[in-house]
Structure 1
Amino acid sequence: MKEKIYWGNHTKKAKENFPYEGKIVPFEFIKNLALIKAASAKANLNLKAIDKRKAEIIFNIAIEISKGKYSKQFPLSIYQTGSGTSTNMNINEVISNLAKEKYKINIHPNDDVNLSQSSNDVIPSAINLTLIKETKEKLLPEITKLEKEFKKKAKEFKNIITTGRTHFQDAVPVGLSFEFEGYYLIIKKQRKNIENSLKNLFEIPLGGTAVGTGLNSPKGFSEKAVYHLKKLTGLPLKKAKCKFEYQSSIGNISVFSSSLKNFSLEIFKILQDLKIKNYFKEISIPPLQEGSSIMPGKVNPVAIEVLQQIIFDVAGKDTSVSLSSLSGNFELNTFLPLILFSILDSIKILTFGIKTFNEKALKNLKANEEICRRYAENSPSIATPLSLIIGYERTAEIVKRAVEEGKTIIEIIREEKIIPEEKIKEIFNLKKLAFPHHFKDK
């Protein structure tokens, strides 16, 4: 059965003017916008700006929406007026018409539901609230799990030695555990950067109305509204000290978006390393599915490739946010729906990509100890400590000959009798080479 329509004329016009259905304003945002309507109704009641029954009805309907009810009543595309006014009026009209049907009372969408508010302070506040909740509840827990898994792998690979690489060339030996510990610390640092940038979003401009001055809201509305919003969400929200700043600029939101991008780019580097190590057989990534429609038995690192595609998408969305940030004029940024959709979608796809990679690839990733050891032994760069004994230039000659003749460094040293056999074993002990400041000769 088709659901009854509760939106009004403003929503109808916006839907007719911009009927693109590919990117609808996310319902996660609508639910948080509803919480702001509920908190505002409470604040208006506290300040005797609205009739008690009207305030209670607005509050009750708004809470119903915040809990997921009436989701099909919000059909508008993100491609609408840049302040998000159409979506603000959408929820105002829905609450108004539901009040008329359910409670037999006339509640005006502007004079009552939108009392003491403007799209210009409500929409930025709801964006902040949505990004905070989605990040804390969904993205950060998955990042933390990924972080812990890399730390676990570092311990698992404690005694495995492979060759380091720079410029896509073999370098001196390195512990595989050192590499994975590095990955763990990179993720940990980037997670903290996301958390720190998120802190700036707890300050919201609710009560700033049209241009940050608070015109058409009673004195004390901002404090009351934020107080009630804190109670409804359990979040340590704060009233913006300067509402003009938060309505005219999305600097804090842009910084948060950049933290998601920077995290993603660091992850991309790690994924590239793992993909190459998998190719060299140093590690084995679990096979998930057939990799070719024509080549039987071919298996690809699909969990890595999925997350890498997501990372490119996140980087692109951050560019949209950056351009939107610099394009705001005077008292209002007019690219808010695009900003909301871009960052919220980045949070969603990163959450999915990280969870998928962690569960389908990283958790069951194995190291091939023998192959790793062989790479370390055969690297020409294990000659590096020899330079302390016979000098850089003579060592370079040995390396050149080894490469040209396809022999190992130790084979050349033995042929030329450069140092005694017992010295060879001492200098070219792989553990000593890989852990020069942690090695203890038993």
Structure 2
Amino acid sequence: MLLYKLWRSFVKEILLLKRDIGGIVIIFVMPLLLIITITLIQDSTFKNLEGSKIPIIFIDNDKSEVSKNIKQELEHSKSFELLTNFTEKSAQDAVFGGDYQMAIVIPKNLTKDINSNIDSKVQSIVSSFGLETDSSAVKKNVLKAQDIHLYFDPATNIGFKNNVMNAVNKMVFEIENKKIYKAFQDQLGTTENLEENKNLISFKEITPKKGAMEVIPNSVQHNVPAWALFAIFFIVVPLSINLVKEKSQGTSVRARISPTPYFIHILGKTFTYLIICVIQFLLMVAVGIYLFPYMDLPQFDVTGKMFQMIIVTIFAGLAAIGFGVLLGTVADTQEQSAPFGATSVVVLAAVGGIWVPVFLMPEFMQTIAKFSPMNWGLNAYYDIILRNSGIGGIAKEITFLFLFYVAMVTISLFYERKQNAV
């Protein structure tokens, strides 16, 4: 009997949705437009960072060994296009004017001064061991510091500045090390091959692999689950509006005086909107698999992951439905439910890492993000897509999502009962 009543409640929700075809179209079409637009924008940004060369001004006043090595390293990095037809003054004006992101100016006599300083230091060290050295060179142990000038556009990202400065420091450090090693060879008369003097420690990045292919996160792997979650939570708006309509039209009164328990009506709404959530997610995945490759975007790979992702979608849908039920129960008018519902979804998306990755947020915002149901859902999707987790690996997130649904519905039922108590 309860199953029949649940079925009738489900049919009632479908009939209500059929009266607002425009709203249903918006629920499905709006997220698709968002995912396509934002993925295109973000992917072009990634391509600019990874594939295109950034034009920078390179001025070589040294024109010797060290400056040539620095120039060669910059060219081999495949990240920069070096522009050389500038003076330091014109380069400074061009960079500070925003025409270029940065300029590197190598000072005069850089190689000569480095060689002189290294020879002087090495001879001082060798002489301290009682070995024969050129005493006249030791007395000339006067260090001449040389500065490589780096000009940055004031609007340049601080991360880009730090990366470039670290790269230049690393290049100079390696050049100095080789020269120091060569100077000791000359002083001590050794014949060891300089090329064999390799680093004892190196870094090797290890990423998750699928077969022989490395799995590297891209814009599609972020945007498909992220905007699927946004679409799922956006059902808060039509769901809360329908609940408010039922109160204003007297439907909720008839539901309360009927022999059917009120929670059956809530379950009917849950099943109806859960189907909508799954359809939204499948449409997003279809765009990622079939449309994105035709738009020169990476294809969304769901091989062996679809079942786990559907599970996350169901529990994320439950969380969104619970929030919508609470909002529709508490709100008295559509003017209250619609704006608040849309605004709250946008806030949850921002806090949950849909727009800005959580690790880029201030520390206190990272703490707040841990309480966002969208963040739980996004982390669960990441675990599946990027970390190849199974159901066990996402158990914590889907548990939180289910408890959120239970909490929202429980509060709604208590609030509805209190409001209609005689």
Give the TM-score taking structure 2 as reference length: 0.26
